[in-house]
Structure 1
Amino acid sequence: MAKDTLIQINQINQLNSIRKKYNELLKYGNEHPQTVQQNLEQLRKRILLDGLPPESEQEIEERKNGVNKCSLRGLVWKVLLGIKDVSADKYIELVKKGASKQYQKIRKDIGRTFMKDSQFSQIVSQDQLSRCLNAFAHDCPELGYVQGMNVICGAFLYVLPEIDAYYCFSTFTTQSCHLYLDAKITGVHTATNLLDLILEFVDPELYEYLKTRNYHPYLFTQPILSLGTATPPLDEVLHLWDFYFAFGIHLNVICTISQLLMMRDVLLQHQSPCSLFRSLPEIDSKTILNISIHIIRQLPDYLYDLLVVHPVDQIDLSSIIGSTPLTTNTL
């Protein structure tokens, strides 16, 4: 048997073994709901150690054919987001309301959602995206629709059947990152300021160089707002989302910094490094997560605590920004 074939068989066996472990965890959780916290901890540990395996060919075909069945990743996301039951009747009623007040904005944005990803267009239709986003605007008028919701909702539809995707999107948006998606994207602006503070802390040399080259943290508004989906490939972004749902969406900021550190040598040699931020290199989730874990271990508790709450609580960074550089000792 050829060497390449043996390697391929070994990889398949490893993925099947990982998939089996997740299925066993999910089964145990369903049979022992009284130990929900312990079950979640085991699931998070597994994600940290092994990651989630990519969708199988069968799962991809089922999604393309509109089969109303959750993939392994979909099932894990629902558990991590606390989605126990979904109401088809409620969703249908919301859809029956038709176009929302934000319909024109939604219609404009859905045509640009992952437009360069051919597999996305095979799995998610514009009609599905339109239904979900208009339903949410009816169901949650205080948030309604802002640009950026389209790619977040699109990613959920890429992984989950429509009704499950809607409830995951709605729960995630309203409970985990509502300040990212309010009318002023307040949480995103806070996130870019936190990114600025953390970048200065973890790599002062790179930070100082960028400051001499027209750097401003708002350059990262789009990567932060899109939760990484602005940078392909989508399948790699989903691995980052596994991490976010397991440990918190605030890690979006850390992973964005990790992408910068991966570009470090190029940035330090470039005369206009900030021009490179318009299109970040393709996502390499494994490397990004490894660097991110290293950054997290370095951060002072005070700064990390601010990072954790910023997607849902308004925080005042005025006492930190522009002050003496952060060190572990001072915090």
Structure 2
Amino acid sequence: MSELRIHVWLVLLNAPPLCTDTYLDLVRQGASPAYAKIRNDTFRTLTTDPLFRRRVTENSLTRVLNAIAWKLHDANEARVNGWMSPPTLGIPKSLDGTDNMFHSPASVSTRRGRGSVTGTEGSEAGGDNSGSVGYVQGMNVLAAPFLYAAKSEAEAFAAFDRFITHECPGYVRGSMDGVHKGLALVDQILAIVDPRLSSHLLSKGMKAEIYAFPSVLTLCACTPPLPEVLLLWDFLLAYGPHLNLLCIVAQLVLVRDTLLNSQSPKPDFKPLKARPVIDYTVNFARKIPQDLYEQMLAHAQ
């Protein structure tokens, strides 16, 4: 694995330098309102990928996601209350005075008036957060490549935070509107680059919302093997995450014959083959009308 990859990604994301203490302060805050959902997701993150399991622990992934959840929660509180900056972050120990890095979820409601862990499945706890950026199911897989490539949790946090807040905030809002827009665009793109395959899938009721939701949300990080995901992400971070929609269509075209010959087609993108996917993506980009390409650029915002 390239030691330079995370540094290149940080440059491509234009991520500002992050003081490690900033990350540690977020970790010391304990369990966020989204902690229960995070714990429900982390144990099943890339479970079949031995490279990821050897390099990234579940605790490490949990800490990064919990820190992200706190940062997004505090930023949303600042926005709602009209503060110029988020509330103070530093809390050295858990409420019970122990050194545990996380409270039990039940204790979260007593901290700083944060509210309970209950709420909608797609957003953080408390109120209607459909328009705010927060933890949503699937962010664990989206964070995985950053943790795998990074040399430290703070480095992964800086890259992941920049990515979700600047490149694809629409994917991590409670309503996940960016993901749904992306799925609709996948159907439109396929109809342009391969009308026959598009018609066949639609005739069988196989719309992108059925088979492509994880691939849109995670930028194909859900499709093993991980080394191929990293190669694909090198391309996407260099030329724009919006091209992931074309990458999904490219994966469909790679299994085109199988799908056309099936009376019950169900796309299976495993294993990911980054090089041919990138080649097809570059070719397809030339065929996309300007107005549709502009929708691709804007769909995740």
Q: TM-score range by the shorter chain?
A: 0.7 to 0.9
Q: For the aligned residues, what is the CA RMSD? A: 1.1
State the distance in 2 between where 1:158 and 1:171 align: 17
| 3-state SS of paired residue (1:140) | helix
Please tell me whether residue 238 in structure 1 is matched to residue 227 in structure 2: no
Match of 2:264 among 263, 268, 272: 272
Please tell me whether residue 178 in structure 1 is matched to residue 178 in structure 2: no
1:288 aligned partner: 277
Structure 1 runs of 4+ with >4 Å offset: none
Alignment of 1:71-150 (within 5 A): 71-141=3-73, 142=76, 143-150=133-140
Query: Given the two structures, how large is their TM-score scaled by the length of structure 1?
Result: 0.71
Shift of 1:217: 2.1
Deviating more after overlay: 286-295 vs 136-145:
136-145
Match of 1:156 among 146, 160, 180: 146
1:23 aligned partner: none
Match of 2:290 among 296, 301, 304: 301
Q: Deviations over 1:121-165 (max 9, x none)?
A: 111111111111111111111423111110111210000021110
Between the two proteins, what is the percent identity of the paired residues?
Answer: 39
The answer to whether the Cα contact below 8 Å between 2:142 and 2:217 also exists between their aligned partners in 1 is no
State the distance in 1 between where 2:269 and 2:284 align: 19
Shift of 1:223: 1.3
Please tell me whether residue 217 in structure 1 is matched to residue 208 in structure 2: yes
1:280 alignment partner AA: F
Shift of 1:258: 0.1
2:27 alignment partner AA: V
Residue ranges of structure 1 left out of the alignment (5+ in a row): 1-54, 57-70, 313-331
Q: Deviations over 1:235-289 (max 9, x none)?
A: 101111111111111111000000000011111111101x3x2x32311100000
Report which of the two has the higher share of helix: 1
How many equivalent pairs are there? 241
| 3-state SS of paired residue (2:204) | coil
Match of 1:194 among 176, 179, 185: 185
Whose relative contact order is higher, 1 or 2, with alpha carbons under 8 Å and at least 6 apart? 2
2:197 alignment partner AA: L
Query: Given the two structures, how large is their TM-score scaled by the length of structure 2?
Result: 0.78
Shift of 1:83: 2.1
State the distance in 1 between where 2:6 and 2:198 align: 38
Residue ranges of structure 2 left out of the alignment (5+ in a row): 77-132
Please tell me whether residue 249 in structure 1 is matched to residue 249 in structure 2: no
State the distance in 1 between where 2:158 and 2:42 align: 19
